[in-house]
Structure 1
Amino acid sequence: MSVSVRFRVWIEVGDRHVIGPGGYEILKAIDEVGSISGAARKLGMSYRFVWNYVDRMEKTLGVKLVDARKGGRGRGGAKLTPEGQALLKYYEEILEEMNQVASKWSQELTQRFRNLTSYDL
């Protein structure tokens, strides 16, 4: 028997959602691809959805996360601002730490459940 501990991480400011798994994937895709439209295509999302998601994160935090350049095909693009890169890094650090905790507890509970099932109840 193998037990898995799973979790979802999101960051809030007050009671307002800033970033969770979806926002993380959006920022990461923008960072990798270099455009909002390219990130949207990569993630199978609409450009409008990605743009609005980023806009909501920026308004909630009060900082610019993505520097988008207008220009159309071949001339536009987007990159994360230093604040956007920092948010991505913070989220990744939280995920890494939470993955370590989840792994520890998965192993611990697997052993504990094995011990429970070895008894005749």
Structure 2
Amino acid sequence: MKREHMPAKFDLRLRVFSEEPAFGKGVAQLMRLVAQKGSLSAAYKEMGMAASKAWKIVRRAEADLGFPLMESVSGGKSGGFSQLTPEGEDLLKRYEEFQEEVYKAARQSFVKHFGNHDTIEKNL
């Protein structure tokens, strides 16, 4: 196969779970933004996600994993906030490290099988 006909990109979908594939890139991104912004609302708005979808994917992951990923306190005089639980922080850290290792290995394998392309895309 000629070089110009070789694929130049790849994509992986990486999820971790107990029974149902419920924790992946979307939930991890949402959690990362909650940790940065202190607000689930700000996180899903930045992602362009509906509140109902944000809660649905978080609750589905929590149900599958068996522990809460984040906790929220409703507004009031001092305003509300959201934060990751200690278990949620640990899971996010482990997932991101696992994800980076898998993508590194996949990039190396892609180059081995399809050649060294300057445009190899890492879709995190």
TM-score w.r.t. structure 2 length?
Answer: 0.78
The answer as to 2:18 corresponding to 1:19 is no
- The corresponding residue for 1:91 is 95
Give the counterpart letter for 1:30 in structure 2: V
Question: Which of 10, 32, 40 is 2:15 aligned to?
Answer: 10
Deviation, structure 1 residue 58: 1.4
Gaps of 5+ in 2: 117-124
Question: Which of 23, 48, 53 is 2:57 aligned to?
Answer: 53
Largest Rg, 1 or 2: 1
Q: 1: distance between equivalents of 2:55 and 2:37?
A: 15
- The corresponding residue for 1:44 is 48
Give the counterpart letter for 1:41 in structure 2: K
Deviation, structure 1 residue 23: 1.2
TM-score w.r.t. structure 1 length?
Answer: 0.80
Greater strand content: 1
- The corresponding residue for 1:118 is none
2:17–2:65 Cα contact (<8 Å) kept: no
Q: 2: distance between equivalents of 1:82 and 1:7?
A: 28
1:6–1:102 Cα contact (<8 Å) kept: no
State the superposition RMSD in angstroms: 2.0
SS of residue paired to 2:67: coil
Greater helix content: 1
Aligned residues: 111
Deviation, structure 1 residue 5: 3.9
Q: Alpha-carbon deviations, 1:37-57, whole Å to 9, x = none?
A: 101110001112112221221
Percent sequence identity over aligned pairs: 30
Give the counterpart letter for 2:18 in structure 1: V
| CA 1:44–1:21: 2 relative to 1, 3 Å | same
Deviation, structure 1 residue 19: 0.5
SS of residue paired to 2:72: strand
1:70–1:77 Cα contact (<8 Å) kept: yes
